[in-house]
Amino acid sequence: MANVILKDIEMKFGETHVLHKMSFEIKDGEFVVLVGPSGCGKSTTLRIIAGLEEPTSGDVYIGEKRINNVAPKDRDIAMVFQNYALYPHMDVFENMAFGLKLRKFPREEIQARVNEAAEILGISQLLQRRPKELSGGQRQRVAVGRAIVRKPAVFLFDEPLSNLDAKLRVQMRTEIKKLHATLGTTMIYVTHDQTEAMTMGDRIVVLKDGYLMQEDKPLEIYNNPTNQFVAGFIGSPPMNFFTTKAQLNGGVVLDEGAFTLSAPANLKVKAGQSVVLGIRPEHLYLDDNGPVKATVEVAELMGSESYLHATTGKHPFVARVASTHEFKTGDSVRLSMDNNHLRFFDGETGDRI
Ligand SMILES: Nc1ncnc2c1ncn2[C@@H]1O[C@H](COP(=O)(O)OP(=O)(O)OP(=O)(O)O)[C@@H](O)[C@H]1O
Ligand SMILES: [Mg+2]
């Protein structure tokens, strides 16, 4: 078993408190993505699992075993970094074999493992090349190969694709998912890119400022974000937010009277309470009788659909509509909202209500 458990991890660098009560479990064979903005503590969390940082307090388990005091090299973990730093004077074979040589594996075993990993990654024909003779994507594959040959119980990836151009990133995303399907090994993948998180993760753990915000399956996080931060962070274009004040009758009316909306009867709000109404761009649709009167600022044609950047009253928002009509700046449109997809957040705390 190679599940990974973090229990009440606190991490301080001097006065800087970087991780707060970080607890989550990654099941054996799962692909989990840690996602959050820059500086939220993703790499620190990964480095604690790898044993490259010692937490201030809290426990790390792999399988049944508490590994706080186990040296990194004995943790049965392989890590792929953003700056994968291949040895420039070694060819691909030697780069991949290096870790095994250090661990005194027999020659035939090294040969077999490197060949097998090269086969999986489609780089068998590159084994004699030096890193400078490789493309960015090929170098990245070698870095992954270096981890594969170790046959670790857990793979850790720290933003491994961020040095690649957009097209290659998309391709490598699929390759890493395929690799996971082939190997079936537990993988923990760190990124600040919500698209990578959504497309790759069996499960996503969202972090902010060293706090765990939410952990769940991608679609569940997308549909039921636990707070306004997660709602705004996951999804592109992001969820639209309108700040309103709850009226006495429990109905929610938008500030400047841009449109009126009755909140669901079971929404627990107090009169005068600040409420943020959230609606994703695909849940606004063009409707000649719709309550939202808006003016188009910019229409982005994406192909089959268009992103309408518009304003209603003073509120900017984005609607994702079919490209059946060519919209121009200044066009007046009316839209409706899909009420099932309205999400409400506390205007003070950001928590879902
Ligand atoms: N050795 C250190 N000493 C002091 N502060 C540190 C140290 N390492 C990290 N930090 C701080 O801890 C916080 C979390 O850093 P971390 O590298 O984990 O963020 P991250 O989520 O990986 O960000 P990024 O997306 O930019 O890589 C940051 O505020 C960072 O400045
Ligand atoms: Mg980082």
The pTM score is 0.92
Average pLDDT over residues 185-213: 96
Which tens digit of pLDDT belongs to each residue from 153-170? Answer: 999 999 988 877 888 888
Ligand 1, atom 26, lies closest to the CA of 38
Residues 199 and 88 in one domain: yes
Q: Which ligand neighbours the alpha carbon of 81 most closely?
A: 2
Residues 83 and 153 in one domain: yes
Q: Which of 195, 215, 232 is the last residue of a domain?
A: 232
Q: Name which residue leads in pLDDT, 164 or 299.
A: 299
Residues 101 and 119 in one domain: yes
Distance in angstroms (rounded) separating the CA atoms of residues 201 and 189:
8
Q: Residue 16 falls within a domain, yes or no?
A: yes
CA 204 – ligand 2 centroid, Å: 16
pLDDT of residue 200: 95
Distance in angstroms (rounded) separating the CA atoms of residues 105 and 119:
20
CATH code where residue 318 lies: 2.40.50.140
Q: Quick one: which H or E segment has residue 170?
A: helix 166-183
> Of all atoms in ligand 1, which is nearest to the CA of residue 36?
21
Residues 105 and 193 in one domain: yes
Q: Residue 12 falls within a domain, yes or no?
A: yes
Residues 142 and 272 in one domain: no
Q: Which residues line ligand 1 (CB under 6 A)?
A: 13, 16, 18, 36, 38-44, 192
Residues 135 and 167 in one domain: yes
Q: Which of 185, 201, 232 is the last residue of a domain?
A: 232
Is it the case that residue 273 has pLDDT exceeding 90? no
Q: Which mutation among 18, 49, 81, 158 tests ligand 1's pocket best, with the greatest number of atoms within 8 A of CB?
A: 18
Residue 121's pLDDT band (boundaries 50, 70, 90)?
Answer: confident
pLDDT of residue 137: 84
Distance in angstroms (rounded) separating the CA atoms of residues 180 and 131:
25
Residues 273 and 133 in one domain: no
Residue 325's pLDDT band (boundaries 50, 70, 90)?
Answer: confident
Which residues have CB atoms below 5 A from the ion given as ligand 2?
43
Q: Which ligand neighbours the alpha carbon of 40 most closely?
A: 1
CA 192 – ligand 2 centroid, Å: 8
Q: Which of 204, 232, 260 is the last residue of a domain?
A: 232
pLDDT of residue 6: 97
Q: Residue 351 falls within a domain, yes or no?
A: no
Which tens digit of pLDDT belongs to each residue from 79-119? Answer: 998 777 899 999 999 999 999 999 999 999 999 999 999 98
Percent of the chain with pLDDT over 90: 71
CATH code where residue 148 lies: 3.40.50.300
Contacts of 175 (CB under 8 A, 6+ apart): 121, 141
Residues 258 and 337 in one domain: yes
Q: Name which residue leads in pLDDT, 326 or 334.
A: 334
Q: Residue 9 falls within a domain, yes or no?
A: yes
Secondary structure class of 157 (helix, strand, coil):
strand
pLDDT of residue 351: 96
User: Checking phi first, is residue 159 left (phi over 0); if not, alpha (psi -120 to 50) or beta?
Assistant: left
> Of all atoms in ligand 1, which is nearest to the CA of residue 190?
22
- Using alpha carbons, select from 93, 113, 13 the residue that is nearest to residue 53: 13
Q: Residue 25 falls within a domain, yes or no?
A: yes
Average pLDDT of the chain is 91
The count of structural domains within the chain is: 2
Ligand 1, atom 30, lies closest to the CA of 39
Cβ proximity of 252 and 267 under 8 Å = yes
Residues 71 and 30 in one domain: yes
Give Cα separations from 283 to 181, 223, 262, 325, 343 (angstroms): 33, 12, 17, 18, 11
Q: Domain span at residue 279? A: 239-346
